[in-house]
Structure 1
């Protein structure tokens, strides 16, 4: 049986996941979350510096 591996890292402020309100337009933020989810790929395609963002339930990497 393999022994578990422990991995640790340090996350700096430049590596943080931004709140979902930052990469989305005000119009998109007004939509219900289920409709916003359909557009979660757009910020990553239009902003190549965006590493990740998160909402109340999901993290987009």
Structure 2
């Protein structure tokens, strides 16, 4: 089973994901977690992602694919 949860920052995606993971025994893969780690490391990807997240926007698909 694959479930995708989309939404803007602070919409509750992580909260709902935790509930689904616990209920169905699934694995959680978060692009947000990956991008936050990249921002912390000040990588090229992290810097580009920050340009979007600082404006409350989702990073475009071609950036996270």
Query: Is the pair's TM-score, using the shorter chain for normalization, greater than 0.5?
Result: no
Q: Which of structures 1 and 2 has the bigger CA Rg?
A: 1
Of the two structures, which has the highest relative contact order with CA contacts closer than 8 Å and spacing of 6 or more?
1
Normalization by structure 1: what TM-score?
Answer: 0.32
More strand by proportion, 1 or 2? 1
